[in-house]
Structure 1
Amino acid sequence: MFEEIDVDDAIKKAIQTEKNAMNFYELGALQMKDPDAVKFFQLLAREERQHAGQFYKIYQGSDIADFDELMDTPPDHQSSWLAALAKSINSDFNEQKAMELAMEKELNLEKALRETAAQIKSAEVRAIFELNAQETHNHYELIESEYARIMAMVHESDMDIYVRE
């Protein structure tokens, strides 16, 4: 049974959350020293922008005029994404901490997207939330892999080489 939620409000919040995630990755990349980690966060920022675009396409409200204009507005430093990043930057920021924070934020976002999807009657809108939840899960897995690289851990594709009978 579906609970009644304001779908336009949920979509609008999703757009803003994806923008906050995009800004998180953009600003995080500026703080990193590892060139591969910088490129990785820049890639995630571009993908978060695409996620916001998926939500924007199904938004029925009239209070968001232009997608590019919205995405180019200054970051909301009060958002949970950017507040967490600012706290991390102020306490010995490094790539490891950034990746750990990113994994935590992506897990929380995936859960929120799935919970919202479960409350939406429209199959089309629900599908967008579910798609973004899956893409968010994929981000988590990518970040986990990059974290392993940063930490010089054995990559999952090399695990069988190190397993002994």
Structure 2
Amino acid sequence: MRKELLIVTVFLAIIAGTSFGQSTQDPAVQEMRQKLEVVYDLGRMFSYIQTMDKEQKKLALSTAQVKSLVSMAEKILKVTRLEPKEADAMLKEIEDRILKPDQLMFVDGLAIARANERTATSGTGAGSTGGTSPVQSYMNGGPFNPMQDTTKKIGQDFKAAYDYLKAKK
């Protein structure tokens, strides 16, 4: 069930990014954007966990969970090029080993709701339109870690979640 919810979330995010994007976008860039979506999902997961912990006292994180998440966040922040395979492994660890089933259900519900919000808005997804996008940087072998970029919402949200979790530790 967790995998199905994640697949639905990723699918909705992909629809959001492609339905409002330029129709002339390079197919290779579109394909890479889809491949990299798991990295963005990992960053969003931390934001959803923070929301859950703040708003749902009965689903509050244990000390051990906080320590595991802080450790993972620190690893993420140290990496200049976060590969989809690594992000997927970290997401699986969060889903299978760190969060309890009721916590995961709440977080998945948030993910679906936020994906729907992104679909209904401007469609600014994983990349940017001007200059060298993060996706293009990745394709060129350059750095790629959207959680380090605090000029973008994903980076700001990740930093806020990391700071929140670190303060709880």
TM-score after normalising by structure 2: 0.36
- Structure with max Cα Rg: 1
Using the size of structure 1 for normalisation, the TM-score is 0.36
**Quick one: higher RCO (CA 8 Å, sep 6+), 1 or 2?**
2
